[in-house]
Amino acid sequence: MAGTIISIMLGTVYLLPMLLIFCRRYSFKLDRKILYLPPIILILCIFTQILGLALLLTMLTSIYVLTMIILTSITILSTKNKI
């Protein structure tokens, strides 16, 4: 839980300003299918924890954190563009 919260905060503080500058020149749309990615990664983390696959669990956890950082910024940016 703490990792998710800090990932959201990192995405908001560090990545969002860079995306705001980038999106002044280019526009993009958020695909709703990509929002299913974090729960899928968490389910895979549970399975790898049960199976005891430490290396795969480490990689999935890193992917989850990076996904949360990126998705938080993109989601905030897309809701800002709708307003």
What ranges do the domains of the chain cover?
Answer: 2-82
pLDDT band at residue 83 under the 50/70/90 scheme: low
Tell me which residue of 71, 77, 83, 69 sits closest to 19, measured CA to CA. Answer: 77
Element (DSSP H or E) covering residue 36: none
For residue range 23-64, list pLDDT tens digits in order. 877 776 778 888 999 999 999 999 999 999 999 999 999 999
CA atoms of 62 and 22, how far apart (whole Å): 25
Q: How many residues does the chain have?
A: 83
Q: What is the pLDDT of residue 79?
A: 82
DSSP H stretches of helix in 28-53: 37-51
Radius of gyration (C-alpha) of the chain in whole angstroms: 15
Q: Determine the pLDDT at residue 28.
A: 67
